[in-house]
Amino acid sequence: MRTVVLFALLFITATTVAQKKGQDLVDSLSTVLINTPKSDKKKVARLFIDLSSAYLQISNYTAAASLVSDALSIAEELSDDDLTGTCFQNLGTIYFFQRNFSRSDEYNDRALAIYSKTGNVKRKLSLIKRIADNYLQQGDSSKAVFYYDSALAMARALGDPATQAAIYANRSILYNLDYEHKIMMAFQAKKIYDSLGIDDQTSLINIGNIGIAYRDIVRLGRPAFLKNSLLIPGDSNALLTLAEIYIVEAISKSNLNKDPDNTSYFTGVLAELQETKGDYKSAYKNIRTYYEVQDSIYSQANKNKIASLEVQGQIALRDKELALNKLSIEAQRKQRIFLLGGIVLFGVIAALLLWQNQTRRRANKALLALNKQLDEANTVKAKFFGILSHDIRSPIANLVNFLHLQQTAPDLLSAEQIAHNEKKITTAAENLLENMEVMLLWSKGQMKNFKPVISSVLLLDLFHTVQKSFTGNSNIQFDLEADPRLKITTDENYLQTILLNLTSNAAKALQNTADARITWRAVQHKEAVVLSITDNGPGVLDEALKALFEETSIQASHGLGLHIVRDLAKAIGCSTTYKSEPGSGTSFYLRLPHNPVPSQI
């Protein structure tokens, strides 16, 4: 019979399982697993781990190992470190109960490496305690004490009383014949378990170990240094009575938890106690029960099945490596094909460059002819400006002469002459305005040959440039609400012209407004930057802004401002909207994408 008992029977689960035990828990989790879609691989893997924990409670190590192996395959497929670490730790637990401590240490080390990488402190705590349990079972007291003390410090820092109780319980075993400290520390663990209402394998094993300590004081001989106390009476019968109370309680709780392994173990301990008391009939009956159950749990067949499951997992891993090697070879083959294709493509590019050179020569000849036509067009343009300047000069000269005459000798003109001259000047001024509109229309038509040049523009510099154009408007307050480091990708001149036109319109609207204010804003969004120009003027009618969105006819009295804004915004891929309410001012919004597609007007 083994002489050292494991307290920490914790088997890390992936989810919170129902408050069922033994075969009932197995049946419940199996039903949940059947009804879970196989496509939800992560949930299936977690159920595998929970179900394996349930099998471990009833000492079915073969089924537990099979389920953890299945969960590990899914965890590696999903590259889920946390799930993989849980599987490694649970495999270490299964090998621990199979007395294969070298394999248990191997899986514990692999889990510890993952928890250290992911920073999972709680899992790392449980694993360090499990490593201490391994050394405890192997009889390496110094290493067991080192790891228990490390785990206890972590548990206190994390405020984890349940783990502290488990460490106290296992740490008590290391006191060997120092029964006073052994029993005191075991009762310290029991006190924590009772306060937390924990009634699981760890707590019942601690209770059983208290009974073993009382039994061993009588069975192995009371040490001379052990003093009588309320905790440890001097009478042997009293000690054996206490031992039987705690051992029977451990057996009873193991039965309630449907834990055949610990039930059989403490039944064997009870048989030894009965032998010490001279009750050989009961001792013989209980010792037979112990060996029958232990043989069924720890048979070589079970160990072989677990080893077979591990070999199958290694074969599956090798198959995966072979598949990856096959993919690598296929990738190399494709790479050779791509290289050959590159050589062919290089030849095609060389041929295209030769053809392009010949085409350029023909284009140069055509360009010379176009330049000749351009010279002729410039000559016509010069004549046009000559005629236009004459038509503009005449009404302006008449206006200036009339103003001088009216200023120096207003009495020389009769009322009839003054009215006649005013009529002529008005007509001339209207002609001048019409000629100027014609010139602007012509200039706008020339813009069809221009295409925006996209670059990165610091928005703060752009707003400052626009603001300088309105330094004479001392009655208007200009505000900028934007990140001074914000940059936008657009044509700087196009956007500056748009801002100038919209700001000029806002300034005109504020001529008769007290406390006039124009606010520029810029807001950074995921796909675009939104600029806005807002005034606190009287607002405008929708009809007045129709030219901003439609190809309307141009009236001489309205000018070209909104037409130019519309065309320039279209050229740089900018969308425009507005909001205006009578008495509440007007806001224009410009949405500039981060990657504009420029176009000709």
Kindly report the CATH number assigned to the domain that includes residue 504: 3.30.565.10
* Together in a domain, 474 and 577: yes
CATH for 61: 1.25.40.10
Count up the domains in the chain and report the number.
4
Domain finish residue from 298, 314, 331: 298
**C-alpha of 578 from chain center:** 37
Joined tokens for residue 263:
């039930």
> Has residue 328 been placed in a domain?
no
* Together in a domain, 287 and 215: yes
Sign (positive or negative) of CA dihedral 286, 287, 288, 294:
positive
- Specify the residue for token string 């740089």: 572
Q: Per-residue DSSP letters for 295-348?
A: HHHS-HHHHHHHHHHHHHHHHHHHHHHHHHHHHHHHHHHHHHHHHHHHHHHHHH
Domain finish residue from 448, 466, 496: 448
* Together in a domain, 180 and 284: yes
Q: Which residues pair with 519 in a beta bridge?
A: 479, 534
What three-state secondary structure class fits 472? Answer: coil
In the prediction, which pLDDT does 571 show?
84
Give the alpha-carbon dihedral of 55, 60, 66, 68, to 10 degrees: 40
**Cα end-to-end distance, the chain, whole Å:** 95
Joined tokens for residue 374:
């351009």
* Together in a domain, 392 and 443: yes
Between CA 455 and CA 592 the distance in angstroms is 13
* Together in a domain, 582 and 504: yes
> Has residue 163 been placed in a domain?
no
* Together in a domain, 107 and 180: no
* Together in a domain, 122 and 198: no
Between CA 134 and CA 243 the distance in angstroms is 26
In the prediction, which pLDDT does 157 show?
92
* Together in a domain, 493 and 444: no
* Together in a domain, 83 and 105: yes
> Has residue 577 been placed in a domain?
yes
Q: Please, how many CA atoms are within 13 Å of residue 425, restricted to the half-sphere of its CB?
A: 15
* Regions in the chain scoring below 70 on pLDDT: 1-21, 297-325, 376-377, 379-399, 401-402, 405-407, 409-413, 421, 424-450, 471-474, 547, 551-560, 600-601
Task: Name the percent of the chain in helix, strand, coil, to the closest 5.
Answer: 70, 10, 20
* Together in a domain, 466 and 442: no
- Specify the residue for token string 């677990």: 306
In the prediction, which pLDDT does 432 show?
62
Domain finish residue from 448, 473, 498: 448
Report the alpha-carbon angle 196-4-262, nearest 5.
60
554: phi > 0 → left, psi -120 to 50 → alpha, else beta; which? Answer: beta
In the prediction, which pLDDT does 531 show?
93
What three-state secondary structure class fits 485? Answer: coil
Give pLDDT tens digits for 125-183: 888 888 888 888 888 888 888 999 899 999 999 999 999 998 998 888 888 888 888 99
- Its domain, for residue 414, covers 344-448
> Has residue 317 been placed in a domain?
no
Burial (CB count within 10 angstroms: exposed 0-12, middle 13-18, buried 19+), residue 198: middle
How much is the CA Rg of the chain, to the nearest whole Å?
47
> Has residue 440 been placed in a domain?
yes
Q: What are phi and psi of 457, to 5 degrees?
A: -125, 130
* Together in a domain, 7 and 135: yes
CATH for 276: 1.25.40
Pairing type for strands 487-490 and 476-481 reads: unpaired
In the prediction, which pLDDT does 18 show?
46
Between CA 339 and CA 474 the distance in angstroms is 68
> Has residue 66 been placed in a domain?
yes
> Has residue 337 been placed in a domain?
no
Between CA 533 and CA 513 the distance in angstroms is 17
53: phi > 0 → left, psi -120 to 50 → alpha, else beta; which? Answer: alpha
Q: What is the 3-state secondary structure (H, E, C) of 334-369?
A: HHHHHHHHHHHHHHHHHHHHHHHHHHHHHHHHHHHH
Give the alpha-carbon dihedral of 18, 23, 24, 28, to 10 degrees: 60
> Has residue 478 been placed in a domain?
yes
* Together in a domain, 376 and 429: yes
In the prediction, which pLDDT does 265 show?
87
In the prediction, which pLDDT does 16 show?
46
